[in-house]
Copies of this chain bind each other. A is one copy, B any other.
Amino acid sequence: MDSSLEFIRRIQREIFSLNGTVALLDWDQKTYMPTWGARERADQISLISRLIHEKTTCEKLFRHVEKLWGRLEELDNREQVIVKRLRRDVEKARKIPSDFVERLSKTVSIAFTVWEKAKRKNDFNRFVPHLERIIELEKEYSELIDLPGHPYNSLLDDYEEGMSVEKLKKAFSYLRSEIVDILARIRSSDVFRKQYILNGRFDVERQKKICEFLLHKMGISRKVSRLDVSTHPFTTSIGYNDVRITTNYKSSQPLFSFFSTMHEAGHALYELGLPKKEYGYTVVCDAASLGLHESQSRFWENIIARGKHFWKYFYPVFLKTFPWQLKKWDLQTWYLYVNQVRPSCIRIEADELTYPLHIILRFEIELGLIDGKIEARDLPCIWNEKMMDMLGIEPKNDAEGVLQDMHWSTGDFGYFPTYAIGNVYASQLFHQLLKEKPDVGNEIEQGNLQGIVKWLREHVYRYGRMMTAEEIIRRTCGEGLNAKVFVDYLKDKYLALYEV
């Protein structure tokens, strides 16, 4: 038994090192790699990924895990948690034969290139056969994993362990009708008619200084992190003490780098707060789900950084940095500006209120594609109808519509819902935080964000994967996924803002 424990300890540590190595290969590719390095980088990433898969699925590990599983009651509590999680990962990975991994990887590699071109040329039909192939593979994957209930459950499980289609359907249909209703009321308001536009050029070096200052206030030290530039902002963990974030600077939109830095910093704080002392170098020292991860980024980006308290401290920082560009603005207008609701065709440009509608639209379509009620070739029509139903606007072409996201071309079915789950969890955590620390608004106004970080560390980060995301939310907030808390939050904020 000791030798089994020693074996799983060693192999988890190796897999951890390989994961960090892939993370670095990927980070470098998106930040500093000379362009011509791309081809060999693809080889490197695919080789290390294969080694990770081989190590996870190898017979020897399986046997040791099964042995420990059979004598679970002899293990201490910590070891039991590790063995349970590891067993789940190993058994799941072993359901997928390596020839399937290869077929999927080849298909999406081609599909991604075709999608890029299809989007550029605004030509959905070019993408259809590839999308159809991916959908077939996703169905096959679902059959291999074979979770109970809707076939989509098996896809969802990759990103949101323990969540089910049944639960999401209920939460999302409620969310959909409530947000559509709030949106209708806002649209008819006087405030909605006024549009705020930020003019001027905002020096990139100064933007960077504000972002670095923000990270400092959030308690992210340069000893364990970096801020770099990439096309699309992201966060990656190269080690427990090496969690890097990226942003992008747009000289006409200083809030893009600011909000994206804060979003990514939310992810980074979660990674940095994982239970490395107790569970370091095991599968338990990881995020519980993508939804919970996204709740952390959205908590900071939307709830904190689009809240009124926050700007009492940070608007003066902006004003001092860009006095000339902001001379016609005041705190209240700025607050309205950063929370402006404007239905948009593009998901990643959506405001806090309408964002979940973009997700629900995709969720409904993914369900239909997987259970066969929707055909890939009909997507543009269905997409545009749903856009009209939910957001009251229609994309002027497929590039701005059904082709806008890369997720389907990379085979990431089941991923989209986690964004909206993140919104809901974030609002639940905030609701609970306010109960426990009713004066948190004052702290934020002082620029003191450390109390919030501490609270999140104790109530979210430190659990790692000891339980599922929903179990963590239940333990912290007293109940599982509850979209009503999010709807109440949205109503409180946006009906007041738009005076309806």
Does B32 contact A17, Cβ atoms closer than 8 Å?
no
Does A13 contact B223, Cβ atoms closer than 8 Å?
no
Does B36 contact A20, Cβ atoms closer than 8 Å?
no
Collect the chain B residues with CB atoms within 8 Å of residue A51's CB: 51
Does B34 contact A21, Cβ atoms closer than 8 Å?
no
Collect the chain B residues with CB atoms within 8 Å of residue A40's CB: 17, 20, 238-242
Nearest CB of chain B from residue A229's CB, rounded to whole Å: 12
Collect the chain B residues with CB atoms within 8 Å of residue A24's CB: 24-25, 28, 44
Q: Is A37 an interface residue (CB 8 A)?
A: yes
Q: Is A439 an interface residue (CB 8 A)?
A: no
Q: Is A226 an interface residue (CB 8 A)?
A: yes
Nearest CB of chain B from residue A235's CB, rounded to whole Å: 14
Q: Is A96 an interface residue (CB 8 A)?
A: no
Does A21 contact B44, Cβ atoms closer than 8 Å?
yes
Per DSSP, are chain A's interface residues mostly helix, strand or loop, or mixed? helix
Does A36 contact B242, Cβ atoms closer than 8 Å?
yes
Q: Is A346 an interface residue (CB 8 A)?
A: no
Does A21 contact B48, Cβ atoms closer than 8 Å?
yes
Does A36 contact B226, Cβ atoms closer than 8 Å?
no
Q: Is A351 an interface residue (CB 8 A)?
A: no
Map CB proximity to B onto A18-43 as digits: 1 under 8 Å, 0 otherwise: 10110011001000111111011101
Does B44 contact A17, Cβ atoms closer than 8 Å?
yes
Interface residues on A, range: 35 or more
Does A34 contact B226, Cβ atoms closer than 8 Å?
yes
Q: Is A405 an interface residue (CB 8 A)?
A: no
Collect the chain B residues with CB atoms within 8 Å of residue A35's CB: 223
Contact A25/B21 with A13-B43, A40-B240, A40-B241 known, Cβ cut-off 8 Å: yes
Q: Is A331 an interface residue (CB 8 A)?
A: no
Contact A225/B28 with A21-B44, A240-B40 known, Cβ cut-off 8 Å: no
A228 nearest in chain B by CB position: B32
CA distance A226 to B33 in the complex (A): 8
CA distance A37 to B224 in the complex (A): 7
Contact A47/B17 with A25-B24, A37-B241, A40-B240 known, Cβ cut-off 8 Å: yes
Query: For window 204-243 of chain A, which residues contact chain B by CB distance below 8 Å?
Result: 222-226, 228, 238-242
Q: Is A14 an interface residue (CB 8 A)?
A: yes
Does B21 contact A21, Cβ atoms closer than 8 Å?
yes
Collect the chain B residues with CB atoms within 8 Å of residue A32's CB: 32, 226, 228
Does A41 contact B223, Cβ atoms closer than 8 Å?
no
Nearest CB of chain B from residue A11's CB, rounded to whole Å: 11
Collect the chain B residues with CB atoms within 8 Å of residue A238's CB: 33, 37, 40
Does B18 contact A47, Cβ atoms closer than 8 Å?
yes
Collect the chain B residues with CB atoms within 8 Å of residue A21's CB: 21, 25, 44, 47-48
Query: For window 235-271 of chain A, which residues contact chain B by CB distance below 8 Å?
Result: 238-242, 244
A-B contact sample (19 more), CB < 8 A, given A20-B40, A34-B241: A14-B47, A17-B43, A21-B21, A21-B44, A21-B47, A24-B25, A24-B28, A33-B238, A33-B242, A34-B223, A34-B244, A35-B223, A36-B223, A37-B224, A37-B242, A39-B241, A40-B240, A44-B239, A51-B51
